[in-house]
A and B are shown apart, each in its own frame.
Chain A
Amino acid sequence: MENAQLVSLSRLTALNRQMAIVANNVANMNTTGFKAEGLLFEEYLETDASAESFEFSDRDVHFVLDDRSTTDFAEGGLQTTGNQTDVAIKGEGFFTIQTAQGDRYTRNGAFTIDPNGQLVTHDGSAVLSDGGTIQFSPEDTDITITGDGTVSGNVSGEVGRLQIVRFDNPQALNRIGDNLFDGDDAIRIETPRVSQFAIESSNVDPVLGITQMIEVQRAYQELANLMGQQNELREEAIQTLGRVRVNV
């Protein structure tokens, strides 16, 4: 009886977290370069040490454990913006961003230029090229980014090539917010494909988000009902079994 409630509780907790992930996906429906997140579950077997010592061995109790969150790295739609410092990566890869904590990676190519003439993100962190930061001269008014990521200004000429990297296991990337990922062992892509004047929109599928949400909600309600019934069962058992028979 206790086990039934504890197993239900483990599932409720996991569903609660799944709901938080669905909510985060839906909230980031319009976030540039955002990648939807999912949650995987696994069974957790209770270790029953003394199972063999009984004539009828205990049945294993299976709990629910949320095991890992996964990221859907599918490409989001390409949205043209008309801004000359906006870039979208076609196919796999991440832009390399220099932050105070070290190099970070993003699919958000909505860049801008800081007062010193560097290509930066909207947070002011420098976008890295193969040879360091990307520096324009104050006279540059037209910026061209070619399909292979070469950046040039109309006055200063070629100023670098965007450093676009990939990972052997992108699932191991750590999300740190601000559209950034943190990861080790970045591998440089020699022939990236990018397009200027466009950004990659979020790959959250609203239909999927809502169906997941309904699924989670219903599962949660059913479990809550089940727990209510278990509760009644126990209550009845206590009342029935606890009644003292007075048969003289």
Chain B
Amino acid sequence: MKALQTAATGMRAQELNVQTVANNIANIRTTGFKKQRAEFQDLLYQDLRRVGSSSSDSGTVVPTGIQIGSGVKFAATSRVLSQGPLDQTEQPLNVAIRGDGYIAIQLPDGQTAYTRDGSFERNQDGEIVTLDGFQVDSGITIPQDSRSISISTDGQVEVVVGNDSNKTNVGQIEVVTFINPGGLEAIGDNLFLETAASGTPQTGAPGEDGRGDLLQGFLENSNVDAVAEISDLISAQRAYELNSRVISAADEMMQAASAITN
């Protein structure tokens, strides 16, 4: 009975769908998190009677054949890259990207990762680092006795040192865009890595060439919408149930068939 396997593919797909939704909901308060959406595709079809095969000697053809599908497969988890809401934190080293792009982060193993989570801090040497202590790529050091830190929308970091009344520029936070940001590989900790699918990073000043602006004192919240996720969860759960009903119906049919000879 083909229906059994077909319904099983449906249950497996919905299970993964629920997992995706669960991860979205778990990250509903994660800074810079972008929600994922499960994409499905139908599996191959079995042609019991091919469309266009001849149906008589006089050359007539079958206008529509019989095709029986074999279920569903999980195609992709695509990321929805819409802007998350901006929360004001008033921390001078918190930055949010308004628009497209990522901030590069230097990982301890030498790789460069990209993030939209701009909750930065200073480390013991005065460098701007992430909450895990990884250096923000351009390597900006805030001098010891600086008083006020300001980060402009184009990423210029300026501080007032000691009793100096003028601001000193200590560096610029750059924004990186990708042609296919959906192709970045998520490695957890709000970090992404460049892949063959994402294309090469395009680094530049914030606000230029379609790159987003930086907003000091704000953090970008996750773009997960609780209501949408719950309705997705309900639909996934119902779909799972329906598939399991098909399995039990197919099972009862087989039982009926085996009972013929009783």
Contact = CB atoms under 8 A, between A and B. Distances in A.
Interface of A: 12, 15-17, 19-24, 26-32, 34, 37, 39, 66-70, 81-85, 108, 110, 112-117, 122-123, 136, 138-142, 154-155, 169, 171-179, 206, 209-210, 213-214, 216-217, 220-221, 224-225, 227-228, 231
Contact of B3 (A19, A29, A116, A228): A19
Nearest to B17: A30
Contact of B253 (A108, A172, A178, A220): A220
B252 A28 contact: no
A26 B45 contact: no
Given A17-B48, A31-B42, 15 more contacts: A22-B3, A23-B10, A68-B49, A69-B65, A69-B68, A83-B37, A110-B39, A113-B179, A141-B99, A171-B64, A174-B67, A206-B238, A220-B253, A224-B257, A227-B260
Interface string B43-55: 1110111011000
Contacts of A22: 3, 246
A225 B257 CA distance: 9
B43 A177 contact: yes
Chain B contact residues: helix, strand, loop or mixed = mixed
Contact of A20 (B2, B63, B72, B259): B2
Give the interface centre of A69, A116, A140 by most chain B CB atoms within 10 Å.
A69
Contacts, number: 234
A89 B256 CA distance: 44
Given A28-B40, A30-B40, A83 B80 contact: yes
B253 A30 contact: no
A69 B179 contact: no
A141 B210 contact: yes
Contact of B210 (A19, A29, A34, A154): A154
A128 to B, nearest CB: 18
Contacts of A138: 179, 199-200, 202
Tier of interface size on chain B: 35 or more
| Interface of chain A: mostly helix, strand, loop or mixed | mixed
Contacts of B76: 122
B171 interface: no
B226 interface: no
Interface of B: 1-4, 6-7, 9-10, 13-14, 17, 37-45, 47-49, 51-52, 62-72, 75-76, 78, 80-82, 99-101, 177, 179-180, 182-183, 196-200, 202, 209-211, 223, 235-236, 238-239, 242-243, 245-246, 249-250, 252-253, 256-257, 259-262
A178 B6 contact: no
A204 to B, nearest CB: 9
A231 B13 CA distance: 42
B180 A30 contact: no
A117 B179 contact: yes
A178 B72 CA distance: 9
B250 A23 contact: yes
A22 B67 CA distance: 12
Contacts of A112: 78, 180, 182-183
Nearest to B44: A177
A108 B72 CA distance: 14
B210 A23 contact: no
Contacts of B68: 17, 20-21, 24, 69
Looking at A20, A85, A155, A220, the one whose CB has the most chain B CB atoms below 10 A away is A20
A68 B65 contact: yes
B66 A17 contact: yes
Nearest to B14: A30
A185 to B, nearest CB: 12
Most buried by B among A23, A67, A141: A23
A227 B78 CA distance: 51
B61 to A, nearest CB: 9
The 10 closest A-B pairs by CB, nearest first: A27-B10, A24-B69, A141-B210, A23-B3, A224-B256, A23-B6, A115-B199, A20-B2, A141-B100, A31-B40
A140 B177 CA distance: 9
Contacts of B52: 172
Given A20-B3, A66-B66, A206-B238, A29 B10 contact: yes
B7 A27 contact: yes
Contact of B51 (A28, A108, A174): A174
B246 to A, nearest CB: 5
